[in-house]
Copies of this chain bind each other. A is one copy, B any other.
């Protein structure tokens, strides 16, 4: 079970709407269950450095089956997963990466959002994930 392009595009559409509501400009990436890029959109004027971050957030969420912020809570100095970000060609462990599940609760992919505060990034990612 993996996300389809139609589902990924629906997630991106919902995420863009949420981003517009918040007055933000976002990069939005969706990957499938196998951690492969499925769809991507950068809103006009969004940070260029956030292309890579949004993709890495989506991948990081699926790599460990948890939202990215949960990993960041464990990777701080003195924490159990300190500097885990050096694995997998670079993780992003702050909020904005959220798992996408189907109706049965199976993980079918993940969405990563970057372009504003981590609170806004997370809110936009959740809006995308919940569109399915």
Q: CB within 8 Å of B: which residues of A?
A: 4-5, 8-9, 32-44, 47-53, 56, 59-60, 62-65, 72, 75-78, 80-88, 90-95, 117-118
Contact = CB atoms under 8 A, between A and B. Distances in A.
Given A36-B34, A39-B42, A52-B87, A82 B94 contact: yes
**Identical copies in the complex:** 4
A34 B48 contact: yes
Given A39-B41, A82-B94, A56 B118 contact: no
Given A33-B34, A42-B36, A49-B91, A118 B80 contact: yes
A77 B80 contact: no
Nearest to A53: B87
